[in-house]
Amino acid sequence: MLGQGGFGITYAGYDQALGRPVAVKELFPDGSTRVGITLRPPAGMRLEGFLEARAAFLEEARVLGRFNHPGIVRVLDVFEENATAYLVMERLEGETLAARLVRQRALSNAMVLELARRVGAALEAVHTAGLLHRDLKPDNVFLEEDGRIVLIDFGSTRAFVGGMTVRHTRLVTPGYAPPEQYATSARFGPYTDLYALAATLYHALTGQAPPASTDRLLGTRLLALPPGVPEGLRRGIESALALRIEERPQRVTDFLALLEGTAPVQPRPTTVIPAPQPERIPQATPTVRPAPTVRPAPSRPAVPIPTGPARRPVPLPIPAPRDPEPPQRRRRSRRRSRAGLRAVLGLAGAAIGAGLLLARDETDPPLLIVSALIGLVAGVLLWDLLPLLGLVAGAVGGYFLAGSLGYGSGIAVVAAALLGAFLGYRLFRLIQR
């Protein structure tokens, strides 16, 4: 076995017909089992999900079969057997860039620049075919023993149309995925893969992956590259790591031109903070253009400027913020509202008092007046007694509610009555305000 991932196992094989070693990749999702040699999908995966995974696996074979590029792993055959699918590829001898970085931590500037050229050329072939790799990272860059650098694992490859916003399955590797890959509907293009390539080169130079793009959007800063990195390589990596799409190189050729120092226009660099250094290292002296010759104006006699005691600055008054409605006006407005409500309740009480007598065929004017006055006073006092009425009504309501829920007696009934009284009191106090 050469390796294993979340959806497949790669075995060392031998093509007897051609007489050469090969690598055979089997679709084998995590949790799968075998009945004899037949694959059984994991219990948690529905049949539709497995069929979709198999279709994507076969699509990877078709994508790779379109290329004949030294920087892209070659596919020799694809077939379905044992209820799954197999991909036969050339066998690569060496290690992934991720494994190399575990051993060496960081690579030389010359090696990183060569890495950028080789992987960039492979990406250019992918983009020319209208595709994006979408999962470029040190694990998917293979360093062969003879010096060949190969881009592998095209399982996430998708077609793209420049400038269009599309929906896609979100697939990200933190540190290497740009912000647009975290969205389910976004604009994709070669600049998406260039961000991942720049992050891979950054890791190769510093020994660590850059912060996730989502963390950088929230304020995490990108540490500067080591001081010995050539200016072109530094400028290309920092530009391609820009969070905004329009600030990145738009094509591989633009990116390589930045690396080689032949770009006509320099994109705005990504904001970085300097990495801590044990000692100060002198920077290269920038080239300064000579200033244009300016002919001096004819000399004139100097005019003396009168001097005097310096004036002390006078602070300007700062106007206090204006309250759109003074507190006194708000209080008067509330008082008028309360007086109006009292008047309404008083008139309603007077009408009810007089109406009760009229309902009993009592038409004696003095008696009607007295009854109306009593109703008027009762209506006005009702406003002030609202909180007390709310307290009583809430307590009674809480008591009957507890009884309807099956609590005939005990602490629950008392608690319900007290809670109802409190809520009723507060409610009517709010009405008064």
Last residue of a domain, one of 91, 108, 127: 91
Last residue of a domain, one of 212, 232, 263: 263
pLDDT at 42 exceeding the cut of 50: yes
Residue 302 counted as domain residue: no
When comparing pLDDT for 199 and 422, which is higher? 199
pLDDT at 391 exceeding the cut of 80: no
Give the pLDDT confidence of 118-167 residue by residue, as tens digits: 999 999 999 999 999 989 999 999 999 999 999 998 877 665 545 444 44
Q: Are residues 202 and 217 in the same domain?
A: yes
Residue 416 counted as domain residue: yes
Q: Are residues 75 and 108 in the same domain?
A: no
**CATH code, domain with 103:** 1.10.510.10
pTM: 0.58
Q: Are residues 31 and 151 in the same domain?
A: no
Give the pLDDT confidence of 318-349 residue by residue, as tens digits: 444 444 455 566 566 666 666 776 777 667 76
Whole-number Cα distances in Å, 151 to 109, 125, 290, 324:
20, 11, 48, 67
Q: Are residues 21 and 100 in the same domain?
A: no
Q: DSSP of 402-416, one letter per residue? A: HHHTT--SSHHHHHH
Residue 350 counted as domain residue: no
Residue 404 counted as domain residue: yes
Q: Are residues 62 and 149 in the same domain?
A: no
98 vs 173: CA distance, rounded Å? 14
| Residue 38 backbone phi and psi in degrees, to 5 | -85, 130
Q: Are residues 128 and 241 in the same domain?
A: yes
Chain centre to alpha carbon of residue 249? 22
The torsion of the CA quartet 357, 362, 367, 372, rounded to 10 degrees, works out to 30
Q: Are residues 102 and 248 in the same domain?
A: yes
Residue 427 counted as domain residue: yes
- Is 309 strand, coil or helix? coil
**Would the CA dihedral through 105, 109, 111, 112 be positive or negative?**
positive
When pLDDT is averaged across residues 158-182 and rounded to a whole number, the result is 70
**Would the CA dihedral through 234, 235, 236, 242 be positive or negative?**
positive
**CATH code, domain with 42:** 3.30.200.20
Q: Are residues 104 and 234 in the same domain?
A: yes
Residue percentage of the chain with pLDDT more than 90: 46
Spell 134-154 as b/e; 16+ CB within 10 A means b.
Answer: bbbbbbbbbbeeeeebbbbbb
Domain residues for the domain of 31 are 1-91
- Ligand-binding site membership of 137 (annotated): no
Q: Are residues 154 and 256 in the same domain?
A: yes
Q: What is the pLDDT of residue 288?
A: 40
When pLDDT is averaged across residues 226-240 and rounded to a whole number, the result is 95
Provide the residue count of the chain. Answer: 433
Chain centre to alpha carbon of residue 114? 33
Q: DSSP of 207-249, one letter per residue? A: SSPPPPHHHHHTTPPEEPPPTTS-HHHHHHHHHHT-SSGGGS-
Q: Are residues 107 and 252 in the same domain?
A: yes
Q: Are 160 and 130 in contact (CB under 8 A)?
A: yes
Residue 288 counted as domain residue: no
| Total domains, the chain | 3
Q: What is the pLDDT of residue 400?
A: 74
Instruction: Locate 405 and state its tokens.
Output: 């829920």
Last residue of a domain, one of 59, 74, 91: 91
Q: Grade residue 168 by pLDDT with cuts at 50, 70 and 90.
A: very low
DSSP H helices in 69-178: 97-104, 109-128
Whole-number Cα distances in Å, 88 to 148, 178, 188, 320:
20, 31, 30, 79
Residue 353 counted as domain residue: no
Q: Are residues 251 and 129 in the same domain?
A: yes
Q: Match 């209080």 to its residue by tokens.
A: 331
Q: Are residues 127 and 234 in the same domain?
A: yes
Nearest in space to 211 (alpha carbons), one of 202, 201, 220: 220
Residue 281 counted as domain residue: no
DSSP H helices in 80-211: 97-104, 109-128, 190-206
Give the pLDDT confidence of 342-352 residue by residue, as tens digits: 777 667 766 77
